[in-house]
Structure 1
Amino acid sequence: MSKVNDGAVPMVEAWRGGILESTHTGHAVICDETGQIVESWGNPQAVIFPRSSCKMIQALPLLESGAADAAGLTPRQLALSCASHEGAAIHTEAVDQWLAGLGMSEADLRCGSHDPLDRAAREGLTLAHDKPCQLHNNCSGKHAGFLTLNRHLRAGSEYVEVDHPVQRAAKAAFEETTGETSPGYGIDGCSAPNFATSVHGLARSMAAFAAARDTGDARQKAMHRLASAMAMHPEMVAGEGRACTELMRAMGGKVAIKTGAEAVFVAIIPERKMGIALKITDGGTRGSEAAIAGLLVRLGVLNANHPATLKRLNVVQKNWRGFETGTVTLAPGFAQ
C-alpha cells in the first residue's frame, strides 16, 4: 500500500481570469461486484482513513447480530445510523427518541458535543443561551447504533474502545468487506476507531453493498437494507443543503452516497452493481464534491444539468457583487 500523496492525479481545477488558480489532486476507484477495478485514477493502493464514509460498514454488525430487529429499528433509523447529520431538529429528536426507546439517554453516548451545523439549531441554542449536547454531534446516529448493538451484546459502557466487542465487530466487518487487513487505525472526531484501507479496498466494499440483495445471506441482507435506507431517507444522512442529501435526491433514491472528513466520498450504485471510492489529497470538500458528482455523471446515474450537480460541478463562481470571477471544473483526463 502507498501513502496518500503517492501517484495522485489532478481531478478538479479552479480557474480565474483564464488562468488555472488551484488544482485538487486525488485518487478514485470504480469497482464491479467481483471487487475488480473497472476504472481508476491516481493510485488505487493509496492508504486512506475512510472517516465517516464507511459508516454503513460500521453499522453491519448492528443488523447481522439481530440487534436492529430486536430493537425494532425502522429504515429511517438505519439511515441515521449511517449519517453525518447537521444536528437539525429532525436529527436530534430522532436520536433522542431512539435512545429513549432503548431506555437510555444522551449521557450514554460517547461521541462528544459540538455546535450543530444546522443554522436554525445553532441560532436556537444561542438565543436560549444554551450549549450543544451530544445529540448535536453529527455522529450521534452512528453512536445510537453502537449503543443498540452494545445493549444486545451486554458489553461494557465504553463502546468506543478499540478492543470493545462493538469495535471488534466493526473491524471484522471492515476487513471482510474491503478484502484487506487494515494496516492500522486512528481515532475519529467522534472518538470511535477509524480503520485504514486502500482506496481500492473501500471501493470493493461499496461494490459489495451495491451487489447485495435482500434474498442473499445475512450480510447481503444487511448491506441491502442499509444502502436502501440511506437512499430512501437522504434527509437523515446529511441534511438540507448538504451534498449527500441533495445528490441522492437528484438520483431519485437509486444511489446511496456518503462523504467523510478530509475529502473522502463513496457511492453505492445497485443498478450497475458498482461501488466508488475517492480521496482528494488536500482534504478539501470543494474537490471531493465536484469529483464524486463527475463520476456519477460519467456512470449515467446523475444528470449533469441537475441543480444539485451544477452547485458542485462546472460551477460559475461569483463575487459579492454578483460578477462572474471563475469556474470549478473537472481536470482534463478525469471522469470525462
Structure 2
Amino acid sequence: MLRAGLRLDLRELALVCASHAGSAQHQESALRILSTAGLRESALRNTPDKPLGITERREWGDREATSLAANCSGKHAGMVATAAINGWDLESYKDQGHPLQLLIRKEFEDLAGEKITRVSVDGCGAPLFAISLRGMVRAIHRITHSEDSIHRQVVEACTSFPEMVSGKGRVVTEAMEVMPGLLVKDGAEGVMIASLRGSGTMAWKMSDGSNRGDRPLLSASLSHLGVALGFDPVPVYGDGKVVGEIRASKLITDVASR
C-alpha cells in the first residue's frame, strides 16, 4: 500500500497492520485512514463482526456487527484508501485480480522468497496468500532487518504503537510494550511471528488452530534473547478449580536456549 502511494502517520499505519481489539480508538483510527482518501465507513467491504477483544465485545453488547468494529478494519481501510488514491475500482478491492492485490501478492513473494501457488479467502474477505512457515520467517526477518524505507516505516509504526496492532491486555501488545523494538503479530488459526532487529525471527502455527499456548511459547522462545516477558502461567481449569497450566515443553525450551 505504501509503495502505491498510501501516506499515513505511524499510529494509523500500525492499525493497517493490525488484528485489533475493536476499541473506540481503533475504530476512530480506521475512520481517519478512510478520510485521507475522502472515504467513509460505507467504503469498507470486510465482513462485519463484533469487536475481537473480550472487554470490547462485552461492552458492545447486543449491537449489530459492523465492518468498522471487525479486527481487520484498519487493513481494509488502508486497502480501499489505496485503491481510491490510485483511481482503482473501490467495489472490487478485495478481488485477487485487483491491481492492489496483485501488488500485495508480489510483495509477499519477494519477501518470502517463494512463489504463491494457492490463494484462498480470509474470514474478512481479503485474499489469503499461502506461504510456507519458512517463507513467513524469511519474510518477517527481511522486513525487520531491511534498510528499505517502507519496511522500516512499517516496523517503526508497529513497535511504536503496539496498542494499535492488537489491544490492551492482549499478548501481542503486552510483549511489544515489554521489549522495545520487538515486532510481534498474531494471526488466525494459531499463527504468530516475533522478530527483533539484530537478533532472530520466529514463527509458529499451532496444529489445532488455538492461541492458548501463545504466551508460554512466546516467553520460552524469547528467553534466549534475554527478554523476560513476565507473563503469568496460563491456568487449566477442571471442576471450577485450577488443575494445571499450559507451558512450553522441554523440547521448546531446549531449542530456544541454543
1:81 is matched with which residue: 3, 6, 16? Answer: 16
- Partner of 2:66 in structure 1? 133
Q: Distance in 2 between matches of 1:197 and 1:294?
A: 25
State the 1:120 CA deviation.
5.3
Aligned to 2:207: 281
Letter in 2 for 1:296: L
The structure whose RCO (Cα within 8 Å, separation 6+) is larger is 1
Task: Give yes or no for the alignment of 1:198 onto 2:132.
Answer: yes
State how many pairs are aligned: 253
Q: What's the CA shift for 1:93?
A: 1.1
The TM-score normalised by the length of structure 2 is 0.91
Comparing 86-95 with 326-335, greater Cα deviation is found at 326-335
Structure 1 unaligned regions, length at least 5: 1-61, 214-219
Which of 201, 208, 224 is equivalent to 1:298? 224
- Residue 198 of structure 1: how far off its partner (Å): 1.0
1:330 to 242, 248, 256: 248
The normalised TM-score by structure 1 is 0.71
**Aligned-pair distance for 1:121?**
4.3
**Secondary structure, in 3 states, of the residue corresponding to 2:184?**
strand
Cα 1:120–1:325 change in 2 (3 A) is closer
Amino acid of the residue matched to residue 155 of structure 2? A
- For residues 136 and 57 of structure 2, the distance between their equivalents in structure 1, rounded to whole angstroms, comes to 34
1:109 and 2:48 equivalent? no
Question: Rg larger in 1 or in 2?
Answer: 1
Whole-Å separation in 2 of the counterparts to 1:257 and 1:92: 21
Counterpart residue number, 1:174: 108
Change (3 A) 1:120 1:277: closer
Q: Is 1:232 aligned to 2:166, yes or no?
A: no
Look up the SS of the partner of 1:155 in the other structure.
Answer: coil
Query: Does the CA-based 8 Å contact 1:81-1:145 persist in structure 2?
Result: yes
- Whether contact under 8 Å (2:184, 2:192) holds in the other structure is yes
* Alignment partner of 1:245 is 2:173: yes
Deviation at 1:327, TM superposition (A): 2.0
Q: Distance in 1 between matches of 2:224 and 2:239?
A: 32
Q: Deviations over 1:44-100 (max 9, x none)?
A: xxxxxxxxxxxxxxxxxx1223322xxxx1000110000000111010111122212
Change (3 A) 1:243 1:150: same
Query: Do 2:52 and 2:70's aligned partners in 1 also have CA atoms closer than 8 Å?
Result: no
- The aligned residue for residue 65 of structure 1 is 4
Give 4+ residue runs of structure 1 displaced > 6 Å after superposition. Answer: none
- Superposition RMSD on alpha carbons, in Å? 1.9
SS of 1:325's equivalent in the other structure is strand
